[in-house]
Amino acid sequence: MSQTVRIALLGAGTVGAAVARRLCDPRRADLYAARVGRPLELVGVAVRDTTRSRDGIDPALLTADASGLVERADVVVEVMGGLDPAPALLEQAMRCGAQVVTANKQLLAQQGPRLEALAAENGVGLDYEAAVMAAIPVVAVVRDSLAGDLVTSISGIVNGSTNYVLDLVARKGVAFDDAVRQAGELGYLEADPTEDLEGLDAAAKIVLLARAAWGADVSIDDVQRTGITGLTDDDFETAAANGKIIKLVASAWRSGPPENPRVEMGVRPVALPQDDPLAQAREGANVVIIEAESAGRLRLHGAGAGGEETASAVLGDIVRAARRVVRSA
């Protein structure tokens, strides 16, 4: 048995670099050792270009051999994103008996059920809090905290980029096209903003939440989706004249008879009253409302993006996974 819990990090982008720095921060390291029961050891960081220096990461940890790194780890943390080679590496990790943590929303939306099945088959955990709304612990809440309850609906502002745009229009009176341009300049939008503006990012998140809440076999094709690109200045003026604010709302709810429940999901712009809790989300903030049979209405609010904020969720999942490693040792 290793004296440490060996962590392999796949990817060193904004989130990966923040995770690596925190794992190597001596102050945090003591904390993690106390919480897990054994020290965490970052055994390597897989990157494409090992010659590029990465602020705060010991160059000796960098490797281009992701597959070789996976073989040396108890917990494999995938923060590279994309659909190649992430799934193959996660599969390899699970077959080797490693616990898996991923922040890869796109991968989970497309292949989540297959990866969950593979994790179960290999007796390992698959944690993905960071894939949905960064540090807002919504996956843990619907999957674990409400495991004794019956979630009836989930709705929220789950995409900070579009919320930034809509907030500029609603509160600063910026014209829609200018707001999109400003959000792009400030880094709120990807180079290709389609994922955000057409609601695809929000749709992927609501799919992950519907699965976590209900174990539902749903995919992104099941989401009734309308983005914000079709909105006009007229729409915003009409909303404002009626004292309302347009937000891009993602939602999922159970319908049909109790013995044969169905899950429905939608992403669409909605004109909300000013005092609606979802209307309160400013700039890049996220908010989600969960309704459950016994708990009533819970609301979670926080930053839904950001490297450091997403790292918080990844690190929480790493501690969770490392505890499993120690427990099963």
Extract the annotated binding site for NADPH.
Answer: 105
What is the rounded CA–CA span in Å between residue 277 and residue 279?
5
What is the rounded CA–CA span in Å between residue 97 and residue 122?
6
By CB under 8 A, which span of 102-110, 137-145, 200-208, 242-250 interacts with its own copies? 137-145
By CB under 8 A, tell whether 320 contacts its own copies: yes
By CB under 8 A, tell whether 147 contacts its own copies: yes
DSSP assignment string, 96-124? TT-EEEE--HHHHHHHHHHHHHHHHHTT-
Residue 192, CA distances (Å) to 109, 188, 195, 246, 255 in order: 19, 11, 7, 23, 35
Work out the end-to-end distance of the chain between its first and last CA atoms, rounded to an integer number of angstroms: 7
From candidates 141, 168, 239, 272, binder to its own copies by CB under 8 A: 141
By CB under 8 A, tell whether 183 contacts its own copies: no
From candidates 41, 116, 149, 283, binder to its own copies by CB under 8 A: 149
Give the residue with the Cβ less far from its own copies, 124 or 197.
Answer: 124
**Shortest Å, Cβ 142 to its own copies:** 10
From candidates 168, 216, 313, 325, binder to its own copies by CB under 8 A: 313
User: DSSP 3-state assignment of 191?
Assistant: coil
- Kindly state the DSSP code that residue 305 receives in the 8-state scheme: -
User: DSSP 3-state assignment of 329?
Assistant: coil
> Dihedrals φ, ψ of 187, to 5°?
85, 10
DSSP assignment string, 236-302? HHHHHHTTEEEEEEEEEEEES-TTS-EEEEEEEEEEEETTSGGGG--TTEEEEEEEETTTEEEEEEE
**Shortest Å, Cβ 148 to its own copies:** 3
What is the rounded CA–CA span in Å between residue 261 and residue 252?
13
By CB under 8 A, which span of 52-60, 105-113, 194-202, 310-318 interacts with its own copies? 310-318
Q: Verify whether residue 205 is a known catalytic residue.
A: yes
By CB under 8 A, tell whether 152 contacts its own copies: no
DSSP assignment string, 124-175? --EE-GGGTTTTS-HHHIIIIITTTS-EEEEEEE--HHHHHHHHHHHHH---
From candidates 102, 155, 162, 312, binder to its own copies by CB under 8 A: 312
Contact present, 125 and 320 (Cβ < 8 Å) = yes
Q: Which of 172, 205, 244, 247 is catalytic?
A: 205
**Shortest Å, Cβ 2 to its own copies:** 20
Give the residue with the Cβ less far from its own copies, 129 or 195.
Answer: 129
- Amino acid identity at 92: Q
Give the residue with the Cβ less far from its own copies, 220 or 292.
Answer: 292
From candidates 140, 235, 253, 268, binder to its own copies by CB under 8 A: 140
By CB under 8 A, tell whether 28 contacts its own copies: yes
By CB under 8 A, tell whether 27 contacts its own copies: yes
By CB under 8 A, tell whether 306 contacts its own copies: yes
Binding to its own copies in span 194-223, by CB under 8 A: 215
Give the residue with the Cβ less far from its own copies, 35 or 52.
Answer: 35
Give the residue with the Cβ less far from its own copies, 96 or 150.
Answer: 150
Contacts of 224 (CB under 8 A, 6+ apart): 264, 265, 266, 267, 268
Cross-strand partners of 266: 224, 251
- So which residues are the catalytic ones? 205
Residues that bind its own copies (CB under 8 A): 18, 22, 27-28, 31-32, 34-35, 129, 134-137, 140-141, 144-150, 215, 258, 277, 292, 294-303, 306, 308-309, 311-320
